[in-house]
Amino acid sequence: MIAAASTLLTGGRAATAETAEARTTTADGPLTSAVFRATHNSYSGNLGGARSSIASQLDQGVRFVELDIHDNGYATSRDYAVGHDSPGDEVDHAGNPASNLLRDWLGVVNSWSERHPDAAPIVVALDLKDDLTDNTSYAAGNLAALNDELTSVFGARLYRAEEYPATAGAPSVDALRGRVLAVISGHGGTRAAYKRDTGHDPAVAINGRGQVVEVHGSGGGDLWYWTGRYGSDGRVTWLRHGRYDSGVTPAVALNDNGDLVEVHQSQSATTLWYRVGRLSANGEITWSASRKYDDGVLPTIRFTDPAGTRLREIHRSQSSSQNWEWSGVLDVGAMAVTWSGNAKTADPRFDKATSTSGTSRVRVWTGADGPTPGQTLRVDTDRVAGERVRYPQVAFDEFQKGDSAELQQGALFYAAPAGEKAFVTAARQAGKLARAWGFDSAGDATDPLASYPATDRPFDGWYRDLLTASGAVE
């Protein structure tokens, strides 16, 4: 390990030539080789530590801050709340936002970054204290809402996880100056759900505008949807996600106006139900009530006319292999379908897992992607194959000691308590960004030092000396 410099920091900056040279070398090198000042429970200020305000921490060279967040009350406040064990718990408001709302705290980081465009990249770790997977819609505060909050607050300053090169070398610190990186930490199930989704019996529809709707069962009786946009690169960007009903074996049809009709079977009986939906430009769906239209199993549906008002539904009898059909006419204003012409048919049911519009094709299926579950939702298009149906990777997903292999897959950020020295050292040697939280004495140091030694006392002499000697980047 580098010997400690003989002088302390002045205003958060090293005063020795040796340290300045180390810092310059690190900044010119890849992000994964650098060391940065970091705080633990950064929102706690001088409660249970000596951190001061978020702005003061950044002024003094800290480039990693941690915010514990909760989803309590999201439906009312339309925001997450900062706090340790509960919203507001252990939050020091001195010099910090008066509220506990996450947007206000992110705004402090954004404003500071805007004023300091030459600063080394700031990492904001969001330690999820609640399970966000039970937030069944955007309005309830699911991960799509968290993504939108990050992008709306930080704008072009946000360096998205999907921008990080998958195969080429890591970008340099200097290349990322003035940028902000978000990392999702905390609740493991939510971190996994950010990287992939699982489901049963997926179905999909694409229209001439490139809008995509996917529906699937949970395997436990709930029905969920994803909406997305087919892009010029042939990939689907998924926008919104939510639970819309109960049942099994769903199918969906979508017209060019963004009107959709979904059909499914009830979970506990062989009854068939439908819903009408309206897809908005942001990917949100407004749903009608669920209405029964027949008995049977395994329903499928298609629009049959260019105007997108006439429908054909084909399902199988609940008591034999015979297929039956319905004709339908969509009433957009009433958000209802008038059904007629119920009869047997020799035609097969539609391929609900594949949809085409012009030359664009989308297919959904389930299958493991490396260590992910076998029911991982996957998508093929006419130009790409095997991608996951998942949230846009705006934030990085943290891998912590003891996590599953799927959370480790592709992870850049690793984290563990400061006492887990072997884990931290191995992560650094593997070219990862390693955070050691609860880093509260020089005895916690490893060789190489953690990328982010997250302390409660960033202004103590031992921490200043250690980070100065290690060439911490500002």
pLDDT in tens, the chain (474 residues): 333 332 222 233 333 333 333 433 456 789 999 999 999 999 999 999 999 999 999 999 999 999 999 998 999 999 999 999 999 999 999 999 999 999 999 999 999 999 999 999 999 999 999 999 999 999 999 999 999 999 999 999 999 999 999 887 899 999 999 999 999 999 999 999 999 999 999 999 999 999 999 999 999 999 999 999 999 999 999 999 999 999 999 999 999 999 999 999 999 899 999 999 999 999 999 999 999 999 999 999 999 999 999 999 999 999 999 999 999 999 999 999 999 999 999 999 999 999 999 999 999 999 999 999 999 999 999 999 999 999 999 999 999 999 999 999 999 999 999 999 999 999 999 999 999 999 999 999 999 999 999 999 999 999 999 999 999 999
- Which domains are present in the chain? 31-192+393-470 (3.20.20.190), 198-388 (no CATH)
Selection from 406, 374, 387, 428 nearest residue 162 by Cα: 387
Instruction: Quickly list DSSP for 234-280.
Output: SPEEEEEEEEEEE-EEEEEEE-TTSEEEEEEE-SSSSEEEEEEEEE-
- Indicate the pTM of the whole model: 0.92
Q: Which two tokens stand for residue 280?
A: 């908005």
Q: Using an 8 Å Cβ cutoff, are 66 and 125 in contact?
A: yes
Task: Please give the radius of gyration of the chain, using alpha carbons only, rounded to the nearest integer.
Answer: 26
Cα torsion angle, 284, 242, 391, 237, sign: negative
Q: What is the structure's pLDDT at 23? A: 39
Residues in CB range of 111: below 8 A, 6 or more apart: none
Place of tokens 């909050």: 149
The reply to whether omega before 97 is within 30° of 0 (cis) is no
Q: What is the structure's pLDDT at 18? A: 37
Q: What is the structure's pLDDT at 391? A: 98
Selection from 197, 183, 69 nearest residue 122 by Cα: 183
Q: Using an 8 Å Cβ cutoff, are 436 and 417 in contact?
A: yes
Q: What is the structure's pLDDT at 28? A: 78
Place of tokens 């002045």: 10
The DSSP 8-state label assigned to residue 360 in this structure reads: E
Q: Which two tokens stand for residue 438?
A: 């609860």
Reported as type and span, the H/E element at residue 425 is helix 421-429
The DSSP 8-state label assigned to residue 30 in this structure reads: B
